[in-house]
Structure 1
Amino acid sequence: MTPYLVLFAAGFAGSFHCIGMCGGFACALGRDGRGQGGTVLRHLLYNTGRLTTYCFLGALAGAFGQMICTSADFSATLPLAEPIDFAQRALAIVAGLLMIMIALQFFGLLGTLHRLTAGLGGSLFAATLRKVLNVPGHATHLAFGVFNGFLPCPLVYAFLAQAASTAGAVSGFLTMAAFGLGTFPAMLMMGGIGGVLGPVWRRRGVWLAGSFILLLGLTTLGRGVLPAGMLHGDHLL
């Protein structure tokens, strides 16, 4: 349970980044004048759609990691006592390094990589989302959230790397579920707190998110490079 609480906390910290990236879309859900009840329902549907996409991508990432590890039998001819363990370590190293790189983006470093991860296809996707939002009906708000979950985002990429390092579809699903639920509070309240949170507090939140991602990245990297058992709870995350 503890690792998922950490992921939830990281998602909550990362929700400050979500406010900057997707806050405009969230605010747009409250502009049809149908009352507070309708606004709450639209935000619930929207965020449920986002969570559904995150869980789906997490399961795919975890299954991909599992596929890499279980296909490690090809290396049985190499002088390795446990080829699957070798594959798990390699996967943890790659995932950990990727998370560390993304964390550095949150600290204002690696600007070129940030433009690639955040902007690749982002404008086209955003335009498509705006068209989806104009379609009437509650199903639109759910679909809006589902598609929004695919929007290029370095924060999501970081946790997908963590999901892949778990080498399991279920654990990958749970990893992204914990992260996605952590982003719920801020995104649900987006209509009310968007104007309250100033740039300074949002920036602090982004730094906090980067710190969580850096910690998770270092932990994941450690699983790959340190001897088994050296880290407390070797398979914690």
Structure 2
Amino acid sequence: MSTEYVSCPNEAPLGEQLPAAARGLGHLSAVGSATFRERHVHVALDLVDGGHHPAFAVGYERSRTDPDASPRTAPPGDEGTERIRARDLQLATDAYTRRLVDHAQASANRPFVLLDVEILLASTARKARLALRELELATPSGPTTLRFVGTASGLACLAADIRTAGVADGVTLLPLSNAGTVELLAQVTVPELHRAGFVNFDTASALVATLGGTTLG
């Protein structure tokens, strides 16, 4: 599997990319049989000025989404969440399983484990890939964790499938470039997850507000 691009329906079925081990791990994180909470996706945002791509650290044209350029996360991190990084779905599943086992052996309250996902969104997957190419021409780099480059609807699908397949309890989204991506997150990705029942209203509203939106559309 490519460590750079992950796709979802209307781009490519995610199920074809998930290893058999990942598809069979749902029972490890279940909190009830077919309950709403079992399918709930925990979504967090990690925003920095311009974006997380290394090009923004060397003077590439920035797109500020807020006067405050400090890193922001929403919902805020707490002791009940942990972040993992992995460059493909199999490695993410392995890391997630190790966290579950470690907490079970320690008889500790299990935190929600969120997978870091670098994202770059556009109206089409082709436009997203072209935007990434422009960033790579400015500063060549490689993914530091799972990377999604595509549409906002495809990202909603990926986040939901990561949860339902037992790859992680949710995702922490790291926009590679804020330009375009932040707006599409607020207008499409978060509302689609909410309408599908994967994110509750309060969480969706907090995410949209952090992204600079005013209402949950």
TM-score, normalised relative to structure 1: 0.29
Structure ranking higher in strand proportion: 2
The structure, 1 or 2, with the larger RCO (C-alpha pairs under 8 Å, 6+ apart) is: 1
Structure ranking higher in helix proportion: 1
